[in-house]
């Protein structure tokens, strides 16, 4: 279900997994539980804040996420990164979740930039495919827990080993 929007994964949980609650109830409960956990301890990847600050010093930034709107806003607020993002989009706000390009296309629209003049940082198979389908330059930093396969990584323009490697120079490199 990685990359699915909340309407997509909650419907899947109801229809295929067999949870008796409605998709809306399933999504609301997941958001409630995750919000409580994030308020106790925010699970930021090491180097995330520094990487965002490096890029925000150079370009306007946007978020194109499969997470729920409420969770995107909460993470940005709790981390203090909300001040560095000019646009945020949840896949629940577009017609299709990743790997469709919708969330990235909407983020570019909100930023007022053409996808061909934008870059995406991704860690998943669905995310890489989504950004590439949108026509963006793709920088992959593979998620070590659920790494994208070699076929997905081949679609990335650049593969980095960690967020410490995410610099303006890496974004601009040929």
Task: Answer yes or no: are the C-beta atoms of 106 and 89 closer than 8 Å.
Answer: yes
Confidence band for 1, pLDDT divided at 50, 70 and 90: low
pLDDT beyond 90 at 5? no
As a whole number, mean pLDDT of residues 92-106 equals: 95
Residues with Cβ within 8 Å of residue 25, at least 6 apart in sequence: none
Confidence band for 8, pLDDT divided at 50, 70 and 90: confident
d(CA 153, CA 147): 9
Read off the tokens for 40: 């106790």
pLDDT in tens, 111-139: 999 999 999 999 999 999 999 999 999 99
This prediction has a pTM of 0.89
List the beta bridge partners of residue 29.
none
Sequence length of the chain is 174
Residue 136, helix vs strand vs coil: coil
d(CA 67, CA 49): 19
As a whole number, mean pLDDT of residues 10-19 equals: 91
């Amino acid at each position: 279900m990685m990359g699915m929007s909340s309407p997509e994964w909650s419907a899947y949980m109801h229809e295929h997994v067999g949870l008796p609650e409605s998709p809306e109830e399933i999504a609301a409960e997941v958001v409630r539980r995750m919000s409580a956990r994030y308020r106790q301890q925010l699970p930021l990847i090491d180097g995330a804040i520094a990487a965002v600050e490096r890029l925000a010093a150079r370009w306007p930034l946007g978020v194109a996420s499969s997470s729920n709107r409420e969770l995107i806003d909460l993470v940005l607020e709790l981390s203090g990164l909300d001040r560095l993002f000019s646009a945020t989009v949840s896949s629940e706000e577009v017609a299709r979740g990743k790997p469709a390009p919708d969330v990235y296309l909407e983020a570019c629209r909100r930023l007022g930039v053409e996808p061909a003049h934008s870059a995406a940082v991704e860690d998943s198979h669905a995310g890489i495919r989504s950004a590439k389908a949108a026509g963006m330059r793709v920088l992959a930093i593979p998620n070590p827990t659920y790494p994208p396969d070699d076929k997905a990584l081949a679609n990335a323009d650049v593969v980095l080993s960690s967020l410490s490697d995410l610099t303006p120079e890496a974004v601009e490199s040929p």
